[in-house]
Structure 1
Amino acid sequence: MSLFSHTIHVLDRALDYSALKQKTISNNIANVDTPQYKAQDVVSFKKFFNQELSKGITAKRSNEKHIPFQSSTKSLTITHRNVQFNENGNSVNMDQEMAKLADNQIYYNAMIERLNGKFNTLKNVIKGGQ
């Protein structure tokens, strides 16, 4: 039996995703004037994998005893190499990065509020509903 519900684990993974996204966006903003720097972005592994599957990659189980594929909430950082916004070869679009930063902050705050609600519920249960 687990002390915490599956929801708390999912919220923990969501906060990890948000932290990686924050780090990546901050790195892009810090390198806005670096020549030849290519902007990075964070995508969920599931989204990336589904994009690759749509290109024609298929996985089949030849025996029902084989382990099935399971979805993952892992995230990865990708670099867009064929994009250029500035004359020095830099691909950081400052307006787009600031919008992503604001969006990520809202997402992070929502996950923290939900996690606080879960912990408040646990605290209420421990106190006996008082």
Structure 2
Amino acid sequence: MSMFSGTIQTLEQSLNYASAKNRAISSNLANLDTPNYKAKDVTFKNYLAKELSQPLQAKRTNSKHLSFQGEAQPAGYKTIRQHATSYQHNGNNVDVDKEMANLAKNQIYYQALVDRINGKFGSLQTVLKGGR
């Protein structure tokens, strides 16, 4: 039996995704003036949509629980380069305003994940202390 029904593992995967996204954004900002540099992006939505299109199967611990059709696996993410655009005359396609907005959004997402995982570990700590 897994602790917290796999929540810790899901939060860990989400933190890994946020870290990969942050690395891609940092790389883009560091190469803002590099000729012919193509911006990186970390995609997750395509993988999520693919996984959600498959039927789910719930663990039935009671005969009154509803059942589902199949079972979905955790979605992954992939770092890609955006070759289709060019914002500068030197062939570079990094948009600093877009990257800064993505960075702020990703930082908020990451902090929310950290807060949630801290809450899970806080619950575990309370249990280990006997409710005190």
RMSD over aligned Cα atoms: 1.8
Give ranges in structure 1 of 5+ residues lacking alignment: 52-67
Q: TM-score, normalised by structure 1?
A: 0.80
TM-score, normalised to structure 2's length?
0.79
Contact 2:47 2:75 survives alignment (8 Å): no
Tell me the equivalent position of 1:127.
129
2:80 to 56, 78, 81: 78
Question: Contact 2:48/2:76 (CA < 8 Å) preserved in 1?
Answer: no
Aligned-residue offset at 1:69: 7.7
Secondary structure of 1:129's match?
A: coil
1:69-96 alpha-carbon deviations (Å, 9 max, x no partner): 8343211011111100000000000000
Alignment correspondent of 2:57: none
For 2:81 and 2:71, the matched residues in 1 are separated by 26
Unaligned runs of at least 5 residues, structure 2 = 51-69
**For 2:111 and 2:119, how far apart are their aligned partners in 1?**
12
SS at match of 2:80: strand
Question: How far did residue 48 of structure 1 move?
Answer: 4.5
- Tell me which residue corresponds to 1:26: 26
Give % identity: 46
Q: Which runs of 4+ in 1 moved over 6 A?
A: none
Aligned to 1:6: 6
Matches within 5 A, 1:1-130: 1-44=1-44, 47-48=46-47, 50=49, 70-130=72-132
Contact kept in structure 2, 1:85 and 1:93, CA below 8 Å: yes
Conserved in 2, the CA contact under 8 Å of 1:13 and 1:73?
no
